[in-house]
Amino acid sequence: QVQLQQSGAELVKPGTSVKLSCKASGYTFTSNHMNWIKQTTGQGLEWIGIINPGSGGTSYNVKFKGKATLTVDKSSSTAFMQLSSLTPEDSAVYYCARRNDFDYWGQGVMVTVSS
């Protein structure tokens, strides 16, 4: 069965970066795009960007350009999202989700940005 397993919660300091992971199993990793989504109480669910694991091609929501960088490691069927220059406004739960229609989601990872 399709599973997306995300890395654990992060507590990070302002101005630093964090790299989140999403390990896929139960399907052909390179045949399905992977998305990243941010969820906060205030802004709700926001699409961050998408990556084609086969080609490495990416597309970003303009709001997150320069903030998020998406990559993959095909050998381990893992997608990554690096968030840079972190501020308290980046504190959120981040999800990975498969395909253009977001059919399967990871369990989410809470990122807390605090000094």
State the residues that interact with other proteins by CB under 8 A.
35, 44-47, 59, 61-62, 95, 100-108
Q: Which is nearer to other proteins, 17 or 59 (CB)?
A: 59
Q: Which is nearer to other proteins, 3 or 16 (CB)?
A: 3
The H helix count followed by the E strand count for the chain is: 0, 10
User: Residue 19 CB, nearest distance to other proteins (Å)?
Assistant: 20
User: Residue 14 CB, nearest distance to other proteins (Å)?
Assistant: 26
- Do 31 and 54 touch, CB atoms closer than 8 A? yes
One DSSP character per residue, 24-73 reads EESS-GGGS-EEEEEEETTTEEEEEEEE-TTT--EEE-GGGBTTEEEEEE
Q: Which is nearer to other proteins, 55 or 100 (CB)?
A: 100
User: Residue 107 CB, nearest distance to other proteins (Å)?
Assistant: 5
Q: Which is nearer to other proteins, 30 or 107 (CB)?
A: 107
Burial of 63 (0-12, 13-18, 19+ CB in 10 A): middle
